[in-house]
């Protein structure tokens, strides 16, 4: 009897999208995605944005309470739950913030802005009440308890002093006996709904609430389409940013930046590219990309990208030079522009990128070379960091191995995976919405998320 071979693999983005298509169930699918984030099966900005956007589309479609009062706390609770799984993966939070921005915008269009603000305020107050704990404070009742009706004295063995109860009939009777009649103020006739009782306003508001779900679903679908076309729209900027006989320097060759340079080479291959290898974390990926031999199954940048590009930069006529990190100072004087790929961009112009990118950015700023960051709109964060150390992710050591037991026991070898680049270092941001100067970045981000001000993280 032959045993049947079963292929076992870690669930990734493709598996999760297939699960949403065929086996979606609200709570189970949400928990599966949270587990995938914790296991890092879905990692890096673009895959996390794709997975979160598709999950939001399904959850909003199946959510029972599709009113503003129901969707706002639902989205805020989702933000808290998903962000807790991967706090430094801000693309997850950005997608939920985009959903809140969509709800805010559609509420304004339907005249329900007051309901949105009230729902936001009530949800934030509830979260504050849950966070603050007072030992001697009595619990707040959920609903007000009605007073008990006093017992009748004829049915009890002891005397109960009954409370004075005045009925509507007795009030009218006493008014009639006294001969008094309540006077009604004379009011000039007004249109219905102003001073006269009318339910037309409530009916119209209920109809607007029913329209809300369909418009939000359409906006989320537009957001998913925006993510799918993100790289293409960024690549359209390449011919206008890279000119003939220019010398370009990059830190590594991440997928989005690599496609950007390939598009520039189609229009104008007559430029020189200097690539910093990024030792030790991204060195192997950089060399594999330059030689057009990206390992099959490498999903570190994008789960949908192919294993290798059909034509490399060299085959398109671009002169490529790979240098070590220590040679940045030796080559920077010959460079015209510096391109980096950002993991995340904050409102104040700060950038979170691969470890080592800050060295290149600061050297370029010192030598008066323009630094241009490549980032999609899902990587633009409506936040400002209070403590930049919280945004830096640490990884396992790649220089000190576990077989070097004595060194491991007596020395620390921290290995940061990301860098924080201070505001003002990057001059321009190439996004799928166009080229943004650093001066107008905050306004564009807040407009994108429909937020009045940036959050503090």
288 lies in the same domain as 424:
yes
Question: Is residue 160 included in any domain, yes or no?
Answer: no
- Phi first, then psi: give them for residue 206, nearest 5 degrees: -65, -40
Question: Is residue 249 included in any domain, yes or no?
Answer: yes
CB 123 within 8 A of CB 68: no
Whole-angstrom Cα distance, residue 202 to residue 210?
12
Q: Is 247 exposed, middle or buried (0-12, 13-18, 19+ CB in 10 A)?
A: middle
- Tell me: cis bond preceding 429? Omega within 30 of 0 counts: no
CATH number of residue 290's parent domain = 3.40.50.10470
Whole-angstrom Cα distance, residue 290 to residue 304?
19
Give the domain extent around 115: 13-129
Question: Is residue 289 included in any domain, yes or no?
Answer: yes
Of 129, 156, 191, at which residue does a domain stop?
A: 129
Whole-angstrom Cα distance, residue 71 to residue 210?
12
Strand duo 351-354 + 337-345: pairing: antiparallel
Question: Is residue 167 included in any domain, yes or no?
Answer: no
Q: H-type helices in 88-228, by residue range?
A: 90-109, 113-131, 168-178, 200-228
- Count of domains forming the chain: 2
Residue keyed to tokens 């011919």:
239
Output the pLDDT for position 107.
Answer: 87
124 closest CA partner among 84, 85, 72, 81: 72
Other CB atoms within a 10 A radius of the CB of residue 453 amount to 10
Output the pLDDT for position 139.
Answer: 40
270 lies in the same domain as 400:
yes
Assign residue 302 a region: left if phi > 0, alpha if psi is -120 to 50, beta otherwise? beta
Output the pLDDT for position 112.
Answer: 83
Strand partners, 395: 415
Residue keyed to tokens 């997850």:
92
98 lies in the same domain as 236:
no
Output the pLDDT for position 203.
Answer: 53
Of 82, 111, 129, at which residue does a domain stop?
A: 129
Whole-angstrom Cα distance, residue 402 to residue 421?
31
Rg (CA), the chain: 31
437 lies in the same domain as 323:
yes
246 lies in the same domain as 101:
no
Whole-angstrom Cα distance, residue 330 to residue 328?
5
Q: What is the pTM of this model?
A: 0.77
Question: Is residue 215 included in any domain, yes or no?
Answer: no
Question: Is residue 147 included in any domain, yes or no?
Answer: no
Question: Is residue 297 included in any domain, yes or no?
Answer: yes
CATH number of residue 105's parent domain = 1.20.120
Residue keyed to tokens 């870690």:
10
Torsion angle in degrees (nearest 10) through CA of 7, 13, 17, 22: 20
CB 88 within 8 A of CB 49: no
Strand partners, 434: 431
Strand partners, 420: 352
Convert 396-408 to b/e letters by CB count within 10 Å (16 or more is b).
Answer: ebeeeeeeeeeee
Output the pLDDT for position 149.
Answer: 38
Convert 264-281 to b/e letters by CB count within 10 Å (16 or more is b).
Answer: bbeebeebbbbbbbbeeb
Of 114, 129, 144, at which residue does a domain stop?
A: 129
pLDDT by position in tens, the chain (length 457): 445 555 555 678 898 999 999 989 999 999 999 999 999 999 899 999 999 999 999 999 998 888 888 999 999 999 999 999 999 999 999 999 999 999 999 888 888 888 888 888 888 777 655 544 444 444 433 333 333 334 444 344 334 444 444 444 444 444 444 444 444 444 444 444 444 444 545 555 566 667 788 899 999 999 999 999 999 999 999 999 999 999 999 999 999 999 999 999 998 899 999 999 998 889 999 999 998 877 444 444 444 344 445 688 998 999 999 999 999 999 999 999 999 999 999 999 999 999 999 999 999 999 999 999 999 999 999 998 888 888 988 887 777 776 666 777 777 778 889 999 999 999 999 999 999 999 999 999 999 998 888 776 6
Whole-angstrom Cα distance, residue 451 to residue 112?
16
CB 286 within 8 A of CB 253: yes
Looking at the chain, the number of H-run helices and the number of E-run strands are: 16, 13
293 lies in the same domain as 418:
yes
- Longest C-alpha distance within the chain, in Å? 107
Output the pLDDT for position 454.
Answer: 74
């Amino acid at each position: 009897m032959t045993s049947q071979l079963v292929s076992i693999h870690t669930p990734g983005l493709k598996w999760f999208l297939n699960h949403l298509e065929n086996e979606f169930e609200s709570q189970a699918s949400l928990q599966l995605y949270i587990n995938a984030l914790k296991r890092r099966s879905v990692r890096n900005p673009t895959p996390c944005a794709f997975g979160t956007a598709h999950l939001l589309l399904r959850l909003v479609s199946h959510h029972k309470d599709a009113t503003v009062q129901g969707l706002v706390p639902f989205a805020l609770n989702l933000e808290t739950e998903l962000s807790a799984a991967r706090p430094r993966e801000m693309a997850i939070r950005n997608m939920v913030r985009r959903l809140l921005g969509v709800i805010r915008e559609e509420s304004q269009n339907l005249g329900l802005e007051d309901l949105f603000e009230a729902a936001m305020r009530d949800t934030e107050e509830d979260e504050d009440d849950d966070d603050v704990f007072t030992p001697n404070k009595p619990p707040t009742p959920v609903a007000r308890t009605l007073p008990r009706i006093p017992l009748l004295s004829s049915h009890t063995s002891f005397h109960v002093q009954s409370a004075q109860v005045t009925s509507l009939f007795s009030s009218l009777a006493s008014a009639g006996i006294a001969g008094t009649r309540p006077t009604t103020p004379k009011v000039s006739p007004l249109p219905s709904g102003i001073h006269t009782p009318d339910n037309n306003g409530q009916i119209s508001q209920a109809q607007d609430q029913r329209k809300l779900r369909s418009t939000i679903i359409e906006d989320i679908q537009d957001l998913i389409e925006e993510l799918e076309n993100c790289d293409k729209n960024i690549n359209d900027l390449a011919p206008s940013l890279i000119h003939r006989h220019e010398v370009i320097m990059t830190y590594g060759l991440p997928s989005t930046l690599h496609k950007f340079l390939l598009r520039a080479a189609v229009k104008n291959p007559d430029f020189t590219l200097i690539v910093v290898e990024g030792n030790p974390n991204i060195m192997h990926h950089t060399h594999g990309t330059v030689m057009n031999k990206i390992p099959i199954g490498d999903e570190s940048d994008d789960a949908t990208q192919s294993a290798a590009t059909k034509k490399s930069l060299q085959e398109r006529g671009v002169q490529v030079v790979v240098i070590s990190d220590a040679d940045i100072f030796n080559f920077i004087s010959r460079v015209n522009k510096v391109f980096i790929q950002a993991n995340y961009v904050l409102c104040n112009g700060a950038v979170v990128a691969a470890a080592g990118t800050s060295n290149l950015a600061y050297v370029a700023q010192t030598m008066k070379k323009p630094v241009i960051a490549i980032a999609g709109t899902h990587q633009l964060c409506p936040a400002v960091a209070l403590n930049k150390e919280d945004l830096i992710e640490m990884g396992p050591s790649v220089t000190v191995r576990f077989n070097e037991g004595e060194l491991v026991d007596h020395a620390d070898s921290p290995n940061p995976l990301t860098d924080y680049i201070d505001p003002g270092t990057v001059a321009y941001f190439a996004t799928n919405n166009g080229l943004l100067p650093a001066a107008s970045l905050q306004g564009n981000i807040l407009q994108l998320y429909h937020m009045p001000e940036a959050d503090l993280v």
